[in-house]
A and B are shown apart, each in its own frame.
Chain A
Amino acid sequence: DGGITQSPKYLFRKEGQNVTLSCEQNLNHDAMYWYRQDPGQGLRLIYYSQIVNDFQKGDIAEGYSVSREKKESFPLTVTSAQKNPTAFYLCASRPDDGGRQPQHFGDGTRLSIL
């Protein structure tokens, strides 16, 4: 079955540590996204990528980094510069065929501070 796989489901970060969240899709989608979800707030865009080897900052990129070396993969690194990383992180993808296509989501990674 095609879909988006995020791993791990739960992740704990120690003070001063960088952690990487994995996102893999087998939908052959061109565009991929990372969002952060906090209680009582709408999803906020961290980074997005429309094509391999290219990505753009979203609304809250500070303290995060990404790479897009393969079409299928879009890992997110939460760096030690992100002072409030506890949240639910969601990866999404969609075809970029010039038309309006909705985004499809993985099942998220919950990041907590130790």
Chain B
Amino acid sequence: QKEVEQDPGPLSVPEGAIVSLNCTYSNSAFQYFMWYRQYSRKGPELLMYTYSSGNKEDGRFTAQVDKSSKYISLFIRDSQPSDSATYLCVQEGDSNYQLIWGAGTKLIIKP
């Protein structure tokens, strides 16, 4: 069974807060993960591409993979209203043609 699960939200936080977005995966054989951001009526855009466990940081964004609990997190520091979007968690299967997509978490940053 291949699944990536996300809480659909919406998650509403005040501007400047630290945001934590999470997802769980079921197949531990695949170790590449991605976070995409999708604005309303737009296509997804890649935020982070990570391998296996540990952290990866890019500006205000940090992606974390915990293999032992099959848990993936995206942290956003100093959140801005422009961060309001749906965040999609993706696990890459044994080829780039086999992406397992979460349904996304809707994030709202209140000014």
| Residue from A56, A102, A110 with most neighbouring chain B CB atoms (10 Å) | A102
Please tell me if A100 contacts chain B, counting CB pairs below 8 Å: yes
- Whether B43 and A90, one on each chain, are in contact in the complex, defined by CB atoms closer than 8 angstroms, is yes
- Whether A105 and B43, one on each chain, are in contact in the complex, defined by CB atoms closer than 8 angstroms, is yes
- Whether A107 and B43, one on each chain, are in contact in the complex, defined by CB atoms closer than 8 angstroms, is yes
Please tell me if A45 contacts chain B, counting CB pairs below 8 Å: yes
- Whether A102 and B49, one on each chain, are in contact in the complex, defined by CB atoms closer than 8 angstroms, is yes
Please tell me if B101 contacts chain A, counting CB pairs below 8 Å: yes
Please tell me if A31 contacts chain B, counting CB pairs below 8 Å: yes
B46 to chain A, nearest CB (A): 5
Specify the chain B residue showing the minimal Cβ separation from A48. B97
Which residues of B79-97 have CB atoms within 8 Å of chain A's CB atoms? 88, 92, 96-97
Residues on A with C-beta less than 8 A from B8 are 40
Residues on A with C-beta less than 8 A from B99 are 43, 45, 103
Chain A interface size range? 20 to 34
* Chain A residues within CB distance 8 Å of chain B: 4, 6, 31, 33, 40-45, 48, 50, 56, 90, 92, 94, 100-108, 110
* Chain B residues within CB distance 8 Å of chain A: 4, 8, 32, 34, 36, 41-46, 49, 88, 92, 96-97, 99-104
Supplied contacts A101-B96, A107-B43, 20 more A-B pairs, CB within 8 Å:
A6-B43, A33-B97, A40-B8, A41-B103, A42-B100, A43-B44, A43-B88, A44-B101, A45-B97, A45-B99, A56-B97, A100-B96, A102-B34, A102-B46, A102-B49, A105-B44, A107-B41, A107-B42, A108-B42, A108-B43
